[in-house]
Amino acid sequence: MANPLLSRDVEAYLERLVPARPPELAAMEAYARAHRFPIIGPVAGNFCYALARMIGARRVFEMGSGFGYSTAWFARAVKENGGGTVFHVVWDEELSRRARGDLDAMGYGEIVQYRVGEAVQVLRDTEGSFDLIFNDIDKEAYPQALPVIAEKVRSGGLLIMDNALWHGRVADPRDQSPSTESIREATRMVSMDPNWIGVVAPVRDGLLIAYRR
């Protein structure tokens, strides 16, 4: 899923700047390519990892974790921050099982907790607050997820929302599809809300980064 703003050369340049990563992570990237499974990829993964390290995140909640690629970046950050918990949440049992195998093999067995279910509901039902919430669920559900996220992210914590640029479709006024409209709506909600400081970083397909006041 290419960044709509960058040439292939610039994308490749940014990817070369990502420090060497464990072979398991590279194998997950190859699996995603082979199965055309959408993952955040190394540049956005490294960006998320850096943010999680910067705020010293120890409790991370992921919404829409797929087979655990993005989870691996957050688990690495949490481990380096001194340990804690990353919730891997997806509604597909098979993806959850696959993620557990890979993340255990990478040494994150103590850190990652697995939940199979609808991510907004699981977040609502999970005790406690979070340093960082990463949202990568179906795009139509982005607006309705926000009030729950706002309740669960701690003051001084972060929301990261993937696909904020949606391959450039958000900037095309003719595109009024439900997914595009929902991403616009969620981005607007965060931008207008004085309780968030939000910015869209044009990393890969766009990451909305929002700091909870």
Ligand X SMILES: C[S@@+](CC[C@H](N)C(=O)[O-])C[C@H]1O[C@@H](n2cnc3c(N)ncnc32)[C@H](O)[C@@H]1O
What are the residues binding ligand X (CB under 6 A)?
A: 38-40, 64-66, 69-70, 90-92, 95, 118-119, 136-138, 141
Q: Which is nearer to ligand X, 90 or 210 (CB)?
A: 90
Q: Which is nearer to ligand X, 177 or 192 (CB)?
A: 177
Q: Which is nearer to ligand X, 38 or 56 (CB)?
A: 38
In the complex, least distance from residue 108 CB atom to ligand X, rounded to whole angstroms: 14
In the complex, least distance from residue 117 CB atom to ligand X, rounded to whole angstroms: 7
In the complex, least distance from residue 72 CB atom to ligand X, rounded to whole angstroms: 8
Strand partners, 161: 135, 208
Contact by Cβ (8 Å): 49, 74: yes
Q: Which is nearer to ligand X, 43 or 137 (CB)?
A: 137
In the complex, least distance from residue 195 CB atom to ligand X, rounded to whole angstroms: 23
Q: Which is nearer to ligand X, 72 or 190 (CB)?
A: 72
Amino acid at 189: M
Half-sphere exposure of 71 (CA within 13 A, CB side): 34
Contact by Cβ (8 Å): 187, 160: no
In the complex, least distance from residue 47 CB atom to ligand X, rounded to whole angstroms: 12
In the complex, least distance from residue 61 CB atom to ligand X, rounded to whole angstroms: 12
CA 60/CA 132 separation, integer angstroms: 5
Q: Which is nearer to ligand X, 70 or 187 (CB)?
A: 70
